[in-house]
Amino acid sequence: MHSRNLGRSVFGDLKNTGNLLSPEEAHSLLTEWVPNEKLRLHMKQVAANMKAWAIEKEGADEQTALKWEQAGLLHDADWEKYPDDHCRIIIEELERRNIDPEVIHCIASHGPTVFGVEPVSKMDKMIYAIDELSGLIHAYSLLRPEAYDGMEVKGVKKRLKEKAFAAQVSREDISDAVSRIDTTLEELIQFIIDHQKAVS
């Protein structure tokens, strides 16, 4: 199998700290690179969870919250068009555009077993923890006639235990990611239910 290991651990340039894509630039990148609406929705959900986490749990200021949001929004930007080179292509694109190195590192560390980059900052650790879980919770919402209404943590945990449900979601990654943060799986599930239900 083609290796997606990035083979490096330093991304971007410190002199670009604070540089982000404008909302318009991020929007057009998404429209151009990600025609698949379901994937776009996933990226928007991860972005909403990341931004809310930064503000509510980390007490982040506006600029920091925007970084968390942008990392979430762009983390899978190259997945549809370059599956064999995900996430090298989006990383190189953001390096070319002089984007904040913390955002690029965060994207590079969203799957340490695949990309070979360890999450370091809290932002890195949270994208790793949120990504797969967000996808599983969304898949569960599609199964329920009431979607997110009345969704309970225990229902999500039951789906997590059913290996055949959303089988592409790595249970190992989820438990590894949660073991690296100071939050229980239950708390994180509840947070994601509460924050991604309104994303469309």
Could you list the residues that contact Fe ion (CB under 5 A)? 76, 131
Give least dist CB 42 to Fe ion, A: 6
25, containing H or E segment: helix 23-33
From 131, 74, 139, select the one nearest 107 (Cα to Cα): 74
Tokens coding 123: 């932002």
- Residue 16 or 117: the one with the smaller Cβ distance to Fe ion is 117
- Residue 16 or 49: the one with the smaller Cβ distance to Fe ion is 49
- Residue 102 or 132: the one with the smaller Cβ distance to Fe ion is 132
Give least dist CB 121 to Fe ion, A: 18
Give least dist CB 56 to Fe ion, A: 21
Tokens coding 28: 């057009």
- Residue 16 or 51: the one with the smaller Cβ distance to Fe ion is 51
Give least dist CB 10 to Fe ion, A: 23
- Residue 16 or 169: the one with the smaller Cβ distance to Fe ion is 169
Give least dist CB 46 to Fe ion, A: 6
HSE at residue 126, side-chain half, CA atoms within 13 A, is: 28
Radius of gyration for the alpha carbons in the chain, expressed in angstroms and rounded: 16
Q: Which long-range contacts (CB under 8 A, 24 or more apart) does 173-179 make?
A: 173/111, 173/113, 173/128, 173/132, 174/129, 174/132, 174/133, 174/136, 176/112, 176/113, 177/119, 177/125, 177/128, 177/129, 177/132, 178/129
